[in-house]
C-alpha cells in the first residue's frame, strides 16, 4: 500500500480518530487498514446504522466512514440522525451504490463527502484531507461529490 | 433477457475484479440457464426490488475465493478461515452489484438493492420464462468467478413513475 503523509487534527496535531460503519467485517478491516496508513486511529466500528448512532455518541470520533446499504438502519438515515444532534459531525459515505440520487440524498442529509467502492486509498486520502480541513462552517455538500 | 440490463454487471465485474486482483479478467463463458442454479463454491446473493426485480448470485470456487480474500485483505488468508473468506465474497458481490446498480440507476431504472447474504443451499430457485437467468464465468488469475443474473424489468412501474413525474 502507498505511503501517505499522516493527516492530523489541526487543533492539537493528534491522529484523526475514526468510526467505521459497514455491515461487512471484511470491508471494515480493509478501511481500518487504509486509514491507519494515513496515520489515523480507528476508535470504533459498527455494523449497522443503529449501532453507528450509539457508537458516535459514546466515542465522538473526528470522522465517520459510513456504508449506505446496511441492515436495520441504512447509512443515510443514520448520518441524518447523527448530524441533527451533532451538526459538526464529519461523515463520509463509503458505498458501492453511488448513483446520483443516492449521493445527493446523502449530502442533503448532512454527509460531507461520498467515496465509491472499491475504495482507492489515494482517493480516500484526499477526501479525508479535504474533510479535515473543513472546520464545520462550510455549507453542507459544498464542494463535495463522488470521490471515485 | 435485455442486454442493457446485463451489460453493467459485466462491465462492473470486469472493473472490480481487475482492480482487486491487479490483473486482467476474461469472460470465459456466457449462457442462459433454465435449470435451478447449482452452487459451485462460496456464493453470495443480492436481491433487487423496484422497477428491476430479481436476484444476482455471485459464486466463487473455494480456491479462488481464498486467493481473492488474501489479495483483497492484503494478508495471507487460510482456507480454514471460512468466515473471512465468505465475508470477502460478500464484499466483492456488494461492490460489483453496487457499481452495476449505480450505472442502471443513472440510466433511469429505479430500484433498491438489499445487502448481500450468503447463498448456502446447494441449489437455487429455477428461473422462469419472465425471469431468465444468465450465467457468466469470469476467468481470473486466481480462478473462476461465476455470476448468475436473473432479473425482470417491470415496464408498468416505470410507466407509472413517468406519469407521476408529469
3-state SS, residue A88: coil
Instruction: Say if A71 is an interface residue toward chain B (CB within 8 Å).
Output: yes
Which of B36, B34, B45 shows the shortest CA–CA distance to B120? B45
Place of cell 486511529: A41
Name which of A33, A98, A118 is nearest B102 (Cβ-Cβ). Answer: A98
Give chain A positions within 8 Å (CB) of B84: 25-26
Q: In the structure, what pLDDT confidence band is assigned to residue A140 with cuts at 50, 70 and 90?
A: very low
Alpha carbon of A140: minimum distance to chain B alpha carbons (Å): 23
* Contact: A96, B97; criterion CB under 8 Å: yes
For chain A, what's the residue count?
A: 148
Torsional sign, CA A132, A133, A135, A141 = negative
Residue A141, pLDDT > 50, answer no
Which of B141, B166, B165 shows the shortest CA–CA distance to B23? B141
Residue A127 CB partners (closer than 8 Å, separation 6+)? A92, A113, A115, A147
pLDDT digits (tens, 9 = 90+) for B117-157: 887 776 665 555 455 688 999 998 888 999 999 888 876 55
pLDDT attached to residue B159: 61
Residue A136, pLDDT > 50, answer no
Instruction: Say if A66 is an interface residue toward chain B (CB within 8 Å).
Output: no
* Contact: A33, B105; criterion CB under 8 Å: no
* Contact: A97, B101; criterion CB under 8 Å: yes
Where are the strands (E) in B21-118, listed by range? 26-33, 42-50, 52-60, 111-113, 117-118
Give chain A positions within 8 Å (CB) of B96: 96
Whether the pTM exceeds 0.90: the reply is no
Q: Where does A17-133 sit in CATH, by number? A: 3.40.50.2300
Nearest CA in chain A to B89: A26
The arithmetic mean of pLDDT across residues B97-106, rounded, is: 90
Instruction: Say if A27 is an interface residue toward chain B (CB within 8 Å).
Output: yes
Give chain B positions within 8 Å (CB) of A24: 87, 90-91, 94
Q: Where does B3-165 sit in CATH, by number? A: 3.40.1550.10
The three three-digit cell numbers of residue A111, written as one number: 454527509
Give chain B positions within 8 Å (CB) of A29: 73
Interface A-B: count of C-beta contacts within 8 A: 69
> What does the mean pLDDT of chain B come to?
83
The three three-digit cell numbers of residue A68, written as one number: 449506505
pLDDT attached to residue B1: 63
pLDDT attached to residue B29: 81
Nearest CA in chain B to A71: B115
Angle between helices B3-21 and B82-106 (to 10 degrees): 130
* Contact: B94, A71; criterion CB under 8 Å: no
pLDDT digits (tens, 9 = 90+) for A19-78: 999 999 889 999 999 999 999 999 999 999 999 999 999 999 999 999 998 888 899 999
Give chain B positions within 8 Å (CB) of A33: 74
Q: In the structure, what pLDDT confidence band is assigned to residue B71 with cuts at 50, 70 and 90?
A: confident
pLDDT attached to residue A143: 40
pLDDT attached to residue A40: 97
Residue spans of the domains in chain B: they are: 3-165
Nearest CA in chain A to B101: A97
From residue A26, give the alpha-carbon distance in Å to each of A22, A29, B84, B100, B164. 9, 5, 7, 21, 41
The arithmetic mean of pLDDT across residues B10-16, rounded, is: 91
Measured CA to CA, the distance from residue B85 to residue B24 in angstroms comes to: 22
Amino acid at each position: 500500500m502507498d505511503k501517505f503523509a499522516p493527516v492530523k487534527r489541526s487543533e492539537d496535531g493528534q491522529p484523526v480518530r475514526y468510526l467505521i460503519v459497514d455491515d461487512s467485517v471484511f470491508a471494515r478491516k480493509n478501511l481500518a487498514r487504509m486509514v491507519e496508513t494515513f496515520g489515523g486511529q480507528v476508535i470504533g466500528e459498527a455494523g449497522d446504522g443503529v449501532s453507528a448512532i450509539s457508537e458516535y455518541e459514546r466515542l465522538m470520533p473526528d470522522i465517520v466512514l459510513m456504508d449506505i446499504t446496511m441492515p436495520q438502519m441504512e447509512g443515510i438515515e443514520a448520518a441524518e440522525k447523527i448530524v441533527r444532534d451533532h451538526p459538526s459531525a464529519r461523515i463520509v459515505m463509503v458505498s458501492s451504490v453511488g448513483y446520483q440520487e443516492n449521493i445527493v440524498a446523502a449530502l442533503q442529509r448532512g454527509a460531507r463527502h461520498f467515496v465509491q467502492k472499491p475504495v482507492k486509498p489515494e482517493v480516500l486520502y484526499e477526501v479525508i484531507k479535504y474533510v479535515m480541513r473543513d472546520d464545520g462552517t462550510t455549507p453542507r455538500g459544498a464542494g463535495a461529490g463522488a470521490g471515485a | 433477457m435485455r442486454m442493457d440490463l446485463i451489460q453493467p454487471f459485466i462491465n462492473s465485474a470486469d472493473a472490480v475484479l481487475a482492480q482487486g486482483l491487479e490483473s486482467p479478467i476474461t469472460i470465459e463463458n456466457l449462457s442462459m440457464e433454465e435449470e435451478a442454479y447449482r452452487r459451485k463454491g462460496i456464493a453470495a446473493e443480492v436481491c433487487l426490488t423496484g422497477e428491476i426485480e430479481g436476484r444476482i448470485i455471485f459464486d466463487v470456487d473455494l480456491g479462488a475465493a481464498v486467493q481473492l480474500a488474501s489479495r483483497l485483505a492484503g494478508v495471507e488468508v487460510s482456507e480454514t478461515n471460512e468466515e473471512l473468506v465468505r465475508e470477502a465474497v460478500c464484499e466483492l458481490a456488494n461492490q460489483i452489484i453496487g457499481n452495476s446498480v449505480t450505472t442502471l440507476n443513472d440510466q433511469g431504472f429505479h430500484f433498491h438493492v438489499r445487502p448481500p447474504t450468503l447463498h448456502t443451499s446447494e441449489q437455487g430457485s429455477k428461473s422462469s420464462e419472465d425471469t431468465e437467468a444468465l450465467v457468466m464465468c469470469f476467468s481470473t488469475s486466481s480462478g473462476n468467478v461465476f455470476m448468475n443474473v436473473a432479473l425482470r424489468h417491470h415496464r408498468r412501474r416505470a410507466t407509472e413513475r413517468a406519469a407521476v413525474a408529469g
